[in-house]
Amino acid sequence: MKNIKDYNLEELKQELVKIGEKPFRAEQIFKWIFQEKVKSFDEMTNISLELREKLKKEYTICNFNILKKQESKDGTIKYLFDVLDGNAIETVLMSYHHGYSICVSSQIGCKMGCKFCASTGINFIRSLTSGEIVEQILAVEQDTGIRISNVVFMGIGEPLDNYDNVINAIRIINNPKGLNIGARHISISTSGLVPKIYKLAEENIPCTLSISLHATTNEKRSKMMPVNDAYPIEELIKACKDYIKKTNRRISFEYALAKDNNDNKEDAKELVHLLKGMLCHVNLIPINKIENGSFTKSSNENIMKFRDYLNDHGIVATIRRELGSDIDAACGQLRRKNLRQNGDGANLSQSVK
C-alpha cells in the first residue's frame, strides 16, 4: 500500500482528485499528518467517516517504532528506528543554543565507500522514501515533544544518490502547511556527485549545500573517497561555483582532519588556494576514529593551527563541536544495524563487526 507521508502537498491534491475529492481535503489531511502529527486516519476529525474509510483502503500512515534510544552526556540522542521492512536506520537529535537540529539518514547503507566512515563496508540495501525521511523528524518530535528547527542530511547514505526522494522530503519539510522549517535551516551534505549538484542549483530551494571535501589533491582525496575517481576536485569545485552563482548561497566545505594525512600547513595552504574568492565557509571536523579505520584524529593543536591559517588567509573556518561521540553518534559513526528476524523484533545485531 502507498504511504501517505510520501506525498508533497501538490501530489496529495492530485491523489485526492483522482478519488473524486476536492483538493482542499488534501490540505486538511496534510496538516493532520505533518502539523498535528496524528498516527491514524481516525484522528482526522474534520474528515468524514466515509472518506477516512476510503483513505484507509488506499494508503497507510507509516509510523516508525523506536527500537533503541541512547542519550549522550551532552544531551545528544541517537535513535534506532524500525523502518517496518526488517531494516533499521539511525537518526540523531542534537541540541544547540539556537534550537534543535536533527541529522537524518537518506538511505539504508551507502554506496560511496569513504574510507573513514562507519557507514562504509555495510551492504547498501535501498534508498529511503520521502515519507521515511520525514518520518524521522515526526517520530523524534513525537517522542520528545520538542520542535525541531534545523535538518541536516548527514546521517547514513548519500542524499544526492537518492535525489528525487530527498528533494520531495524537503518540499514537505519546507511547506508552511507541512513541517514549516525554512529551507535555510535545511542542509544537504554530499560526497560530491557533480551532476546532481548542477541539478540542485536549478531547484529553487535555498537550502545549504555542504561538500565533504576532506583533501586538496586528487591523489589524497581518492585515497579517502573513491567517488573522487568519478568526479575529481576540479570538476567538483566548478560545480560548486555554478551552485553559488545560481543560488547566491554560501557553500559549506567539510574537512575532517586526520593526523599526518591532511592536517599540515601545506594542506592548509592548498585549501586556501583552492577556495580563494569563493562564497564559502570551512567546517573543520576532528576525524572520528572508526573500528578498524586507519585514520586517527589530529591533535587539538594542529586543528587550531589549521583553522587559524585558513582564517588568517581569508577563508572563514570553524571547528565543529563534537556531539554524541560517547554514544557513537558523532560524524561518520552511524551505521545501519540489522534487525534480527527472530520473532521478538527487538533484538539487534550489528551487521558488520
Active site residue 90: yes
How many residues does this entry show for the chain? 353
Question: Smallest gap, in angstroms, from Cβ of residue 309 to ligand SAH?
Answer: 20
**Contact status, residue 93 vs residue 340, Cβ threshold 8 Å:** no
Nearest to 335 by CA among 162, 117, 132, 130: 117
The C-alpha cell of 169 is what?
522530503
CB of 295 to ligand SAH, least distance (A): 7
**Residue whose cell numbers read 547514513:** 156
> Within the chain, how many helices (H) and strands (E) appear?
11, 16
Pick the closer one to ligand SAH by CB: 77 or 112: 112
Please name the amino acid found at residue 10: E
The two beta strands, 317-319 and 280-286, are: parallel
List CB contacts of 237: < 8 A, sequence separation 6 or more. 274, 278
Residue 11, CB-side half-sphere exposure with 13 Å CA sphere: 14
Residue 94 parent element (H or E): strand 88-96
The number of CA neighbours under 13 Å toward the Cβ of 183 is 16
Give 87 or 333: the residue with its C-beta nearer to ligand SAH: 333
Q: How far is the CB of 77 from ligand SAH (least distance, A)?
A: 18
Shortest distance (Å) from residue 39 CB to ligand SAH: 29
- 15, 21, 62, 90: which one is catalytic? 90
Which residue's CB is nearer to ligand SAH, number 29 or number 285? 285
Query: Beta strand pairing status for 280-286 and 251-257?
Result: parallel
CA dihedral 309, 265, 115, 150 (to 10 degrees): 0
Give min distance, CB of 155 to ligand SAH, in A. 7
Using Cβ positions, the residue closest to ligand SAH within the complex turns out to be 332
Comparison of 165 and 288: residue with beta carbon closer to ligand SAH: 288
Closer CB to ligand SAH, 168 or 212, in the complex? 212
Closest CB 177 distance from ligand SAH, rounded Å: 28
The verdict on whether 331 is a catalytic residue reads yes
Q: Which residues bind ligand SAH (CB under 6 A)?
A: 112, 114, 116-117, 154, 158, 189-191, 212, 254, 256, 285, 287-288, 290, 331-332
Q: Please identify, using beta-carbon distances, which residue of 41 and 253 lies nearer to ligand SAH.
A: 253
- Which member of 103, 114, 117, 331 is catalytic? 331
Compute φ and ψ for 24, nearest 5 degrees.
-65, -25
Catalytic residue ranges: 90, 331
